[in-house]
A and B are shown apart, each in its own frame.
Chain A
């Protein structure tokens, strides 16, 4: 059995000794960044204790905006309110909170000159739980729309009351869809099921919220955390609190983040590092062929991270680079690496030099004319994050010191980029966005396969295996199990030996279509047959599953056969070796004009005197 909480434990210890020395500002900084990184109960408790101890000594954390937040709750919300107090402080909101007695939603809003009016809220949080809806497990299909409309109507009416009677902005928690249903999978097919009605209710609330209601998407939060930990039936039955102990901090922080966004406190700029942040490796040392981006497990993870960063940019977050690099090497991947998703144009400021990162970040803020508190700095190097955090405490730092595959989650966990509204102008209609929509359209429109292939406007680059593609080639032979004719696994060294053979042919295929660049997704090796020197034997022919069904194999074979003719072969021999998952390529050679060898199953010959194979749907890039 383990006793958990080591890193939080050290944050607690450090914060406590700072508090003991009366250094509240530093203790708060520490507690705050730990809470913003992950709002666990411990992080919440540490921050709460720093605030309580500080308050006694007259320390109040600096807030940039004031808010008066009233909480109208249908359940016991004391825990939530305490957490909200801490979360608001962590997001630089000087908030005064008022909790109405629970279950008194309409009453509180309707009474004249009551405690709520006296409190004069700027914001009102309406926090119900799914239990309030009282929807049946299964309603008549005809009754469902009316039930949902009535349910939505209650909250919409409350929104009106908040606006009309108190002139305040509404924050509303939406409803968690129950994960348990006696109807099982059938529940999603029935408009009258509780699950369907609550989904529809959330949709209607989203649609009708308009600009004066801020919705907290509790269904998404619960799904992210896992509904089993988000809700604790024990607490519901025993204390009328629906949320589990781990959920409170997250719910409070996310709610406060939306409030912060409404107060204009959201971050506007993301500053990223380059080496080991946007790609794997160090471009200045490993060279452009040595970095990982676009291909392979790590390369794909970095590409996914770039996609996420780019999507933030398209959504209106200003992107900038702060890198310790020579400018030239820093820019090279953007100019010359095909795996890159971000381009130099995506960045408003691009700093690559050898100054401390804090100086780079300061210069970015000055160049853009924005405050340091609107900047989020993300770096894989914990030391760089610490340097920036120490020198510029107003900057939010995100430590990407997790495996590449976890990077998007880590970046997404910051609540600093929440939006209170999204104007049309905020969103750059990026070409890829439009492009994706068109791809779907195309597939629907094309009536024959040939038409579909043509419409993809595929381009390929077939190149000899070289230093930069050896690792990817070896990886493809190891990992490809479906479109793989011989299932031969080759090490890097074995491939080097085939490359070195005078008549050996080793080719990679990169494929791009009008929507996406898939990178190296095909491989073909041809060697001289042991039996006779006029026969070129196909040692390896494989395609990554992403590009199966697009005639890429024909294109690869066209190149291999042409190269074989150049080397003086008169016959090309293909072999199919059966494996657990490659049965569907058993007759590939037969379909492409190879002739089955008599008496040998799975062996096919192609007469090179007929000329190379012809690829009709893929063009070669020069």
Chain B
């Protein structure tokens, strides 16, 4: 899998579904900079990302506070 336009669109969709439609996020954003991105949202993000991209992320992903960009890399590195 590569980080093409479709990948970015799906990624944004997941964030919008979990954090609210119309939310603006960039790769630099993280739980510290986005309102509502709390631990509960993180759990949902991980589950939705796993479902939509067909990957299984490491257990640590649930609790870590990494940036959007880092999460993208994580999804890509776990995709077949």
Contacts and interface: CB of A to CB of B under 8 A. Distances in A.
A552 interface: no
B72 interface: no
Contacts of B51: 4-5, 41, 245-246
B10 interface: yes
B75 to A, nearest CB: 11
A41 B80 contact: no
Task: Give the bracket for the number of chain A residues in contact with chain B.
Answer: 20 to 34
B21 A245 contact: no
Interface in A239-254: 239, 241, 244-246
B62 A4 contact: no
Contacts of A78: 40
Given A41-B51, A45-B48, A237-B59, 7 more contacts: A2-B54, A5-B51, A16-B21, A42-B17, A45-B44, A234-B62, A245-B44
Interface residues of B, number: 25
B53 A241 contact: no
Contacts of B80: 1
A415 interface: no
Nearest to B43: A239
B18 interface: yes
Contact of B17 (A4, A46, A245): A46
A235 interface: yes
Q: Helix, strand, loop or mixed for chain B's interface?
A: helix
Contacts of B47: 41, 244-246
A421 interface: no
Contacts of A237: 59
Interface string A227-241: 000000011011101
Nearest to B60: A238
Nearest to A15: B21
Closest 8 CB pairs of A and B: A245-B47, A45-B17, A238-B62, A49-B21, A78-B40, A234-B59, A1-B54, A3-B10
Contacts of A238: 59, 62-63
A79 interface: yes
B20 interface: yes
Interface of B: 1, 6, 10, 13, 16-18, 20-21, 39-40, 43-44, 47-48, 50-54, 59, 62-63, 79-80
A239 B80 CA distance: 28
A19 interface: yes
A418 B13 CA distance: 34
B21 A53 contact: yes
Interface in A1-43: 1-5, 12, 16, 19, 41-42
A203 interface: no
Given A238-B59, A238-B63, A12 B13 contact: yes
Given A2-B54, A234-B59, A239 B48 contact: no
Contacts of A52: 20
A35 to B, nearest CB: 13
Interface centre among A16, A42, A45, by most chain B C-beta atoms within 10 angstroms, is A45
Contact of A235 (B13, B18, B52, B62): B62
A455 B4 CA distance: 72
Contacts of B59: 234, 237-238
Nearest to B17: A45
A41 B21 contact: no
8 contacts: A1-B54, A3-B6, A12-B17, A41-B47, A45-B18, A45-B48, A52-B20, A244-B47
Nearest to A79: B40
A45 B21 CA distance: 10
Contact of B52 (A5, A79, A246): A5
A239 B47 CA distance: 13
